[in-house]
């Protein structure tokens, strides 16, 4: 089979949008593609994705998302793929797309934290290993509205083919988008921006020497400016003596038109000397989730460190996943530090811009 493998350009958006629609994934707007291209970590010669086309004009796609990581004081480049879509007539092309992403020699880590059950075996075949090794197949979910969740289960059992068909959104509620005042414990406040308080927190995080995806004010302002979201994210700060010592970022998502809204934790990071901050922040989100309209709170990337930090709260969660959604390959010169010190969160992956948003309200 003759294939033309080339960088994605804005003119390809209709083709890629059609691929997304065919698998019932959210379609990105023109503004969304421009936003991805404006990534401050993206090298000039780094396309936002790759397209493979055969002689008949059929196409497959994979996105590539670069991030700046910090290994102590050293900045390095990390890359995750996203939205790999290969129609049946191009079976076998997925491997070529993955190899194309992994062909650069200036990348310290290639990884995915969001592989689905169908694509997961591909990554093993291309030299990526499960990561985090002990928890790469684990997702945590806290049930908020069992009735709504049960309703989705009934629909799946009674009409399993319904989710892929056009139709109205189901299992929404009037609480979505009302933006109520949050009821928070004394240590937790809403975070309203990335000013000097945040800069100090980011500096303190980096001084701890661990491996971190970049959370500088510039990067976060860009990341939260993604134009295809329908509801503002939830940003919470954990404070000690007025200073930010931990934070949580969450956003509302809806896996399909037949699923209830889910509040996805995108980022959860605290200073090492704040052992209770992760559980307090997560508990605060869970306590407010019903008022925000969520049927569940979910953490889709879990590291062993995070399991320990959540403590009893993790034991209360429903454990989901199972197929293995996290895989990584590290450059030899950085492998030791990365394996020892990288505790990824969903922020490190593609979740923030690949989750299906709730309908606009």
pLDDT digits over 2-16, tens only? 889 999 999 999 999
Same domain? 148 vs 257: yes
Flag whether 39 is in a domain.
yes
- The pLDDT, as a whole number, for residue 162 is 60
Per the structure, the complete domain to which residue 16 belongs is given by 4-130
Flag whether 341 is in a domain.
no
Residue 159 has pLDDT above 70, yes or no: no
The residue ranking higher by pLDDT, 164 or 286, is 286
Q: What average pLDDT does this structure show over 96-123?
A: 94
Task: List the CATH number of the domain containing 21.
Answer: 3.40.630.30
User: Hey, which residues does 65 pair with through a beta bridge?
Assistant: 80
- The pLDDT, as a whole number, for residue 257 is 85
Contact 3, 100 (CB under 8 A): no
Flag whether 37 is in a domain.
yes
Same domain? 102 vs 169: no
- The pLDDT, as a whole number, for residue 38 is 98
> What is the 3-class SS of the chain, one letter each residue?
CCCEEEECCHHHHHHHHHHHHHCCCCCCCHHHHHHHHCCCCCCCCCCCEEEEECCCCCEEEEEEEEEEEEECCEEEEEEEEEEEECCHHHCCHHHHHHHHHCCCCCCCEEEECCCCCCCHHHHHHCCCEECCCCCCCEEEEEECCHHHHHHHHHHHHHCCCHHHCCCCCCCCCCCCCCCCCCCCCCCEEECCCCCHHHHHHHHHHHHCCCEEECCCHHHHHHHCCCCCCCCCCEEEEEEECCEEEEEEEEEEECCCCCCCCEEEEEEEEECCCCCCHHHHHHHHHHHHHHHHCCCEEEECCCCHHHHHHHCHHHHHCEEEECCCCCEEEECCCCHHHHHHHECCCHHHCCHHHHCCCCCCC
Same domain? 190 vs 100: no
CA quadruple 162, 84, 116, 154: dihedral, nearest 10: -10
Please state the domain count of the chain: 2
296-299 sheet: strands from edge to edge: 188-190, 234-240, 243-253, 262-270, 296-299, 138-143, 318-321
Q: What average pLDDT does this structure show over 302-317?
A: 98
Flag whether 21 is in a domain.
yes
Flag whether 300 is in a domain.
yes
- Rounded CA-CA distance 43/57 in Å is 29
Same domain? 117 vs 153: no
- Collect all residues with Cβ–Cβ distance below 8 Å to 33 and sequence separation of at least 6: 10, 13, 48
- The pLDDT, as a whole number, for residue 150 is 78
Domain boundary among 130, 151, 171: 130
Same domain? 93 vs 156: no
What's the farthest any 2 CA atoms get from each other in the chain?
A: 64
Same domain? 116 vs 231: no
Same domain? 126 vs 145: no
Same domain? 160 vs 287: yes
- The pLDDT, as a whole number, for residue 113 is 98
- The pLDDT, as a whole number, for residue 163 is 58
- The pLDDT, as a whole number, for residue 149 is 79
Flag whether 332 is in a domain.
no
Domain boundary among 84, 102, 130: 130
Flag whether 116 is in a domain.
yes
- The pLDDT, as a whole number, for residue 170 is 81
pTM: 0.95
- The pLDDT, as a whole number, for residue 161 is 62
Same domain? 221 vs 73: no
Same domain? 102 vs 219: no
Contact 193, 319 (CB under 8 A): no
pLDDT, tens only, 163-190: 556 667 788 888 998 989 999 999 999 9
Using a pLDDT cut of 70, give the percent of the chain over it. Answer: 95
The two three-digit tokens of residue 234, written as one number? 């939830």
- Rounded CA-CA distance 159/268 in Å is 36
Flag whether 347 is in a domain.
no
pLDDT, tens only, 29-81: 999 999 999 999 999 999 999 999 999 889 999 999 999 999 999 999 999 99
- The pLDDT, as a whole number, for residue 267 is 99
Same domain? 87 vs 217: no
Same domain? 176 vs 266: yes
pLDDT, tens only, 223-265: 999 999 999 999 999 999 999 999 999 999 999 888 999 999 9
- The pLDDT, as a whole number, for residue 258 is 84
In the predicted model, what is the mean pLDDT of the chain? Answer: 94
């Amino acid at each position: 089979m003759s294939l033309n493998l080339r960088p994605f350009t804005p003119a390809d958006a209709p083709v890629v949008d059609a691929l997304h629609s065919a698998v019932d994934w959210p379609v990105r707007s023109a503004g969304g593609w421009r936003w991805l291209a404006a990534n401050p970590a993206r090298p000039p010669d780094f396309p936002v994705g790759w397209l493979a086309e055969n002689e008949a004009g059929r196409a497959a796609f994979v996105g590539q998302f670069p991030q700046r990581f910090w290994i102590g004081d050293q900045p390095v480049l990390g890359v995750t793929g996203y939205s790999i879509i290969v129609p049946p007539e191009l079976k076998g092309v997925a491997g070529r797309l993955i190899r194309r992403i992994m062909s650069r020699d200036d990348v310290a880590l290639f990884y995915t934290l969001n592989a689905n059950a169908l694509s997961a075996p591909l990554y093993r075949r291309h030299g990526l290993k499960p990561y985090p090794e002990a928890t790469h197949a684990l997702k945590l979910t806290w049930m908020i509205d069992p009735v709504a969740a049960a309703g989705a289960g009934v629909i799946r059992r009674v009409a399993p083919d319904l989710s892929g068909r056009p139709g109205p959104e189901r299992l929404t509620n009037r609480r979505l988008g009302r933006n109520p005042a949050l009821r928070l414990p004394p240590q937790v406040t809403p975070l309203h921006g990335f000013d000097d308080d945040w800069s100090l927190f980011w500096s303190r995080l980096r001084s701890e020497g661990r491996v971190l995806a970049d959370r500088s004010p510039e990067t976060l302002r860009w990341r939260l400016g993604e134009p295809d979201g329908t509801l503002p994210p939830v940003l919470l700060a954990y404070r000690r003596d007025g200073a930010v010592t931990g934070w949580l970022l969450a956003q509302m998502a809806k896996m399909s038109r037949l699923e209830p809204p889910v509040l996805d934790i995108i980022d959860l990071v605290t200073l090492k000397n704040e052992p209770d901050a992760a559980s307090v922040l997560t508990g605060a989100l869970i306590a407010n989730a019903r008022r925000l309209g969520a049927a569940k709170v979910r953490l889709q990337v879990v590291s062993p460190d995070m399991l320990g930090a959540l403590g009893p709260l993790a034991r209360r969660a429903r454990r989901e996943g199972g197929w293995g959604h996290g895989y990584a390959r590290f450059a030899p010169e950085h492998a030791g530090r990365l394996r020892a010190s990288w505790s990824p969160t969903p922020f490190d992956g593609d979740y923030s811009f690949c989750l299906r948003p709730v309908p606009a309200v």
